[in-house]
């Protein structure tokens, strides 16, 4: 998949995990992987990018003698999901256009 398209989709996928409830890195990977395969190395820059954009916030919780970072979605993050869903029809329209052109060959 095109890198830019993949980045945009994965960002929203991560937010949609968090909209169901606060989560941590490994749990996000586990929740996404059955539907959208992802590794920690792909997830890390996504979380940093979303935090820098104000789409999620981070807090630490003590767990078994160590600190575990939890991620929580913000209003900006929810808005990003809404915009993705609204714009998806345009993407589908473009996909159908491309597919028709390809099949016409």
Q: Which residues bind other proteins (CB under 8 A)?
A: 1, 6, 9-10, 24-27, 29, 36-42, 44-45, 47-49, 52, 64, 66, 68-69
Whose Cβ is closer to other proteins: residue 39's or residue 102's?
Answer: 39
Instruction: Determine how β-strand 66-73 pairs with β-strand 56-63.
Output: antiparallel
12 vs 29 by CB, closer to other proteins: 29
Report residue 47 as tokens: 């979380």
The three-class DSSP label of residue 36 is coil
Nearest-angstrom CA–CA distance, 51 and 40: 16
Longest dimension (CA), the chain: 62
CA 57 distance to own-chain centroid? 14
Nearer to other proteins, 11 or 73 (CB): 11
CB of 104 to other proteins, least distance (A): 27
C-beta neighbour count of 81 within 10 angstroms: 18
Report in angstroms how near the CB of residue 27 gets to other proteins at its nearest.
Answer: 8
Closest distance of CB 53 from other proteins, Å: 11
Q: Which is nearer to other proteins, 37 or 101 (CB)?
A: 37
């Amino acid at each position: 998949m095109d890198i830019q398209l993949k980045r945009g989709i994965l960002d929203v996928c991560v937010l949609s995990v968090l909209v169901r409830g606060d989560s941590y890195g490994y749990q996000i990977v586990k929740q996404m992987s059955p539907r959208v395969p992802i590794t920690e190395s792909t997830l890390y820059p996504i979380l940093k990018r979303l935090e820098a954009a104000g789409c999620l916030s981070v807090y630490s919780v003590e767990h078994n003698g160590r600190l575990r970072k939890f991620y929580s979605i913000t209003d900006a993050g929810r808005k990003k999901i809404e915009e993705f869903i609204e714009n998806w029809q345009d993407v589908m329209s473009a996909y159908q256009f491309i597919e028709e052109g390809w099949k016409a060959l």
